[in-house]
Amino acid sequence: MSDSKPLAGKTAIVTGASSGIGRAIAEHLGGAGARVYLTGRTESLMDECKTHIEQQGGKAEVVTADIRDVTQVQDLINQAVESTGRLDIMVNNAGLEFPAKIMQGDPENWRTMLETNVLGLLVGCQAAVKAMRTCNAEGHIVNISSVSAQRNNTGVYGATKHAVNVISSSLREELEEDTIRVTNVMPGAIATNFARNFDRDFVNQILKMAGMDIEVQAGEHLPHAVLETLQQKTKQLLGNPNDVAKAVIYAVTQPIEVNIADIVVRPPRAMTLTH
């Protein structure tokens, strides 16, 4: 294993790898030598990520799946283990937010957040630990939470991320006698398509602040190049997905006797949003 490829020979899974933080994490893991399994619901975007990883000399596989489906999560992990004989890194990144006050919220949106942000992550943790134990891996579970979990008034989304923090801490304690570490990463506002469900006036205002003459519609995904330009023009308010990915690489390349519990990655200025 060389210093330039510290994860050579390891297998990694990244959920929510279609874009944003998940894509950045997958690309950095691939660049560090891991064979990366990308999972999400938008195959074409994951194919772009796979191509990028392979152009850099890495290896990647695309598995289209809905993280809310327990069976699909378990099948994903089984597929990676059957193909490579092991699982070393599980990054539970998939997540979404439907901002709304509780009295104005849609219960179906709440269900989607709970099933994606909490249930999918829980099943991913459990299945990954079982797989890591089977192959005697010095494994790493990385859960992507949010700085919203550091406040107690961040609505239903914040509640799901409080749950992620509790799950991470509880699992870390359960695994103290195992060679498996759990790291909880809490990003602040990052330039991704995460805000696709936010109020359009708010999103378009941010774009105008960056001097970008673009109008986006509800649910619309911005191209990767547009997001990169947006981040460059709003560095004080929006962080770079690559900075979150670098934090993940730092955590998963530490010796197994080092326990990196929590990492916060945020831009210089905090952006307080209505949840």
Average pLDDT for residues 214-235, to the nearest whole number?
67
Query: How do residues 12-27 score in pLDDT, each as one tens digit?
Result: 999 999 989 999 999 9
C-beta atoms surrounding 243 within 10 Å: 16
What per-residue confidence (pLDDT) applies to 224?
Answer: 66
* Conformation bin of residue 212: beta by default, left when phi > 0, alpha when psi is -120 to 50: beta
CATH 3.40.50.720 fits 11-190+239-265, yes or no: yes
169-177 long-range Cβ contacts below 8 angstroms, 24+ apart: 169/261, 171/125, 171/129, 171/141, 172/259, 172/261, 175/129
For the entire predicted model, the pTM comes to: 0.88
Q: Which residues, listed in sequence order, are joined to residue 262 by a DSSP beta bridge?
A: 184
Is there a catalytic annotation at residue 157? Answer: yes
- Please report the pLDDT score of residue 198 as a whole number: 57
Phi-psi region of 235 (alpha: psi -120 to 50; beta: other; left: phi over 0): alpha
Report the candidate in 172, 88, 169 with the shortest Cα–Cα distance to residue 131.
88
Q: Please report, for the chain, the start and end positions of each structural domain, with discontinuous segments joined by +.
A: 11-190+239-265, 193-238
Quote the pLDDT of residue 268: 86
155-177 per-position pLDDT tens digit:
999 999 999 999 999 999 999 99
Distance of CA 67 to the CA centre of its chain: 12
- Between residues 5 and 270, the one the model is more confident about: 5
Catalytic residue among 37, 110, 157, 194: 157
Measured distance CA(9)–CA(224) in Å, rounded: 29
Instruction: Please state, rounded to an integer, the average pLDDT across all residues of the chain.
Output: 90
Confidence band, pLDDT 50/70/90 cuts, at residue 191:
confident
